[in-house]
Structure 1
Amino acid sequence: MFTRRAFLATGVASTLSACLQPPEPPEAAAPPPPPPPLPAFYGAVTDEPFPIPAVPPGVVAPELWRQGVANPFPDERPGTIIVDPDAGFLHLVTSRDSAMRYGAGTGAAAFAWSGTARLQFARAWPRWKVPDEMIARRPELAPYSVANGGMDPGPGNPLGARALYLFQNGEDTLYRIHGACEPEYLGKAVSSGCIRLLDQDAIDLHRRAPHGATVRVLPSLLPKGLAALY
């Protein structure tokens, strides 16, 4: 017989069962928007002595793309190059009001260099002559020392498609502005001191930068502690 007690027990069980129902699944998150298309000048370069691959989409942030901007250094003469390692930018002053801005990889702690230098000369597809200081840290690079003539140009050469050589008081600083920056490291401080650009940008800067240009590398104000890749 269905008693009042049984009725109440059934009601309580039904209530508990309803409370224990699993929650509704959350709505699926919307997929992230596709990365913005890269400018055409970051495509593959096929008219150089060695092939330069296209920059992969979605790896380089748009603010690091080569672009004309308002000149943040209006007191500098046109042709001056200013590198801000903390921002990851290299500016080439084109007028009092405008500059060409490039994303740049810079030197890590203990390898960073700052100061004023002169663009002494530039080379297309340069040889990489490893300084003795680097060979002391990386003995496996001894075959590419200055005495051994350096590394042949080409896709495996860390200087990439172009190198701009920085001198102070007529002496080589051993620092360069050069290509071959891996896109994922653009804008970061991870190298052994040199200023690295995408090969497409190094070619563009080589074409624009005047011989004898002043190069200013601003001091980094970021905490130390990053290690150099090479």
Structure 2
Amino acid sequence: MKTVTGAAPSRRGTFDRRTFLFGSAAGLAALELGGCNTADTMRLADAQALYGPMPNEKFAIPAVNVAKLDPKYYRRTVRYDTKEAPGTIVVDPKNYYVYHIEEGGSATRYGANVGRDGFLWSGDAYVGRKSEWATWTPPAEMIRRQPEAAKYARGMPGGLENPLGARTLHLYQNGKYTLYTIYASSDPETIGNGITSGCVGLLSQDMIHLYERTPVKTKVVVLPA
């Protein structure tokens, strides 16, 4: 298992997955192609099927409690006009979406959480490597801010409580790891919020869907917030 470092998200007095991902700040504060349902009218049963359990994973992934997820963040195929080539990933932090560009002017759209104020960034990057159930290592600056993270200085093994989750796309620029990732989250209440230290999170079911369609070297465009 590769060990990675990355800025991660703190609830007072506890140090769990949400602590890693959210840090000290954090406010929790289209057209459908080929069907008649819109994001706001998808049937609850359909959403439950889309975000159902994944028991065959290395660590069984539970179903998402879709009652805690705004329907506009359900995974959808939408019209998306762009000059970017099919296969490109576009992150729209202002609207809390990640798009996987498809042929014919469409895209798969995923609801996301993004960087909180002070940690937002924009620009072009690419997927330098991919990880399944990656080990997570807190960077030195995080350990200085949150000394309780020191117990994972040699790495936190992969698992449901690991901040990187089931799948991770590691973002690079000019041959160097940026420390930013697109990662998997099991917490639907984070979607549609700016909470991380610059990383982008999708629900585990959505992240696995994106991961399987994303080879190394895929271009990633992060739009201004």
Please point out which of 204, 209, 213 is paired with 1:208.
213
Runs of 4+ with >2 A deviation: none
Change (3 A) 1:120 1:58: same
Residue identity opposite 1:112 in structure 2:
L
Residue identity opposite 1:166 in structure 2:
L
Match of 1:182 in 2: 187
Please point out which of 98, 105, 110 is paired with 1:90.
98
Please point out which of 108, 112, 121 is paired with 1:100.
108
Residue identity opposite 2:80 in structure 1:
N
CA-atom RMSD, angstroms? 1.4
Matched, 1:113 2:121: yes
1:96, distance to aligned residue in structure 2 (A): 4.2
Residue identity opposite 2:108 in structure 1:
M
- Work out whether residues 88 and 220 of structure 2, in 8 Å CA contact, stay in contact via their aligned partners in 1: yes
Match of 1:50 in 2: 59
Alignment of 1:56-75 (within 5 A): 56-73=65-82, 75=83
Kindly name which structure, 1 or 2, has the bigger radius of gyration based on alpha carbons: 1
Whole-angstrom distance in 2 between the partners of 1:161 and 1:137: 26
- 1:111-146: CA deviations, max 9, x gaps? 22221111111111111111122222212112223x
**Larger RCO (alpha carbons 8 Å, 6+ apart):** 2
Whole-angstrom distance in 2 between the partners of 1:69 and 1:190: 26
Change (3 A) 1:215 1:181: farther
1:57, distance to aligned residue in structure 2 (A): 2.9
**Aligned residues, how many?**
182
- 1:14-50: CA deviations, max 9, x gaps? xxxxxxxxxxxxxxxxxxxxx8332412001101000
- Name stretches of at least 5 consecutive residues in structure 1 with no aligned partner: 1-34, 221-230
Structure 2 residue matching 1:179: 3-state secondary structure:
strand
Matched, 1:139 2:147: yes
Normalised by the size of structure 1, how large is the TM-score? 0.76
Match of 1:127 in 2: 135
Residue identity opposite 2:200 in structure 1:
I
Residue identity opposite 1:82 in structure 2:
V
- Name stretches of at least 5 consecutive residues in structure 2 with no aligned partner: 1-42
Larger strand fraction of residues: 2
